[in-house]
Amino acid sequence: MGHFLTKIPLDKWIEAVVDFLEHNLGWLFDGITTAIGGIVDGFSFIFNGIPAWLIMIAFVLIAWRKLNITAAILTFVGLFLIDNLGYWVNTMETLALVLTASLISVVIGIPVGIWCSRNDTVQRIVTPLLDFMQTMPAFVYLIPAIFFFGLGKVPGVIASVIFAMPPTIRFTNLGIRQVPKELVEAANAFGSTASQKLYKVQLPIAKPTIMAGINQSMMLALSMVVIASMIGAKGLGADVYRAVTQIQIGTGFEAGIAIVILAIILDRFTQSMGKKKRKHA
């Protein structure tokens, strides 16, 4: 039956939409590029402007304060290894990209998650979009990102945000919906406004769940660094990509270890922020 059916020109429709957006909203994309580029450059300037040993001390103190002395020692060992292998600057570039993507994911994701928790219709509309965002291959996001934002760090951040945002929205929605109805009813009985109920009852109780979502978003953003390096994003991903193209096994392993160390540190830090109390070692 193939010759009786005409192929649906989905590719043409998508290209037409992209062309329309480019010609009519170019000013918006330029503004987004400037804003995101400024945030990444700001983080990079701070991290690379501060001596490595001072950042190490700060991370170790945070690990000791939020976790335990063992985590503090392992944090120092990991960061010292990164610096010793010569990947400190690129690690800070990667950290800037990940923090920027995570920050945007949180700023957009938490309000959308709150909206979903308050409106079942919104949740039914947003859920398929989140499924689409999570299941679409990450490489596909690079195509429109390059078209709208050019090459470099900005399209890499945009692709990371799209790929990493769904967990923050899902977990925020889930956390607020799991707040016991008795507490919400008690807040209503005391005459609490919607905002008071949200900020003093629902969000504090849902905090561990929301932080779990932020943690997942940050890990997904970090997993995008290698893919983003294909379109010019700096950092450890560029080292891995270069090692792959030049078949430099040792260099690729070193850069990969640096990514793993950074991922573990960020993972433990964000997990600790979701806990109300910690056990001292």
pLDDT number for residue 78:
92
pLDDT number for residue 234:
81
pLDDT number for residue 274:
67
Separation between Cα atoms, residue 161 and residue 178, nearest integer Å: 26
pLDDT number for residue 26:
75
DSSP H or E run through 23: helix 10-24
Mean pLDDT by 10 residues, the chain (281 residues): 68 81 78 87 88 90 88 91 90 90 92 90 90 81 77 84 90 89 82 80 87 90 82 81 84 88 89 60 37
Question: Would you kindly state where each structural domain of the chain is located, as residue ranges?
Answer: 10-273
Separation between Cα atoms, residue 184 and residue 169, nearest integer Å: 21
pLDDT number for residue 133:
83
pLDDT number for residue 167:
92
Please say whether the beta carbons of 172 and 123 come within 8 A: no
DSSP-derived secondary structure for 232-250:
T--SHHHHHHHHHHTT-HH
pLDDT number for residue 107:
93
CATH architecture for residues 10-273:
Orthogonal Bundle (1.10)
Both tokens of 182, joined, read 């008795």
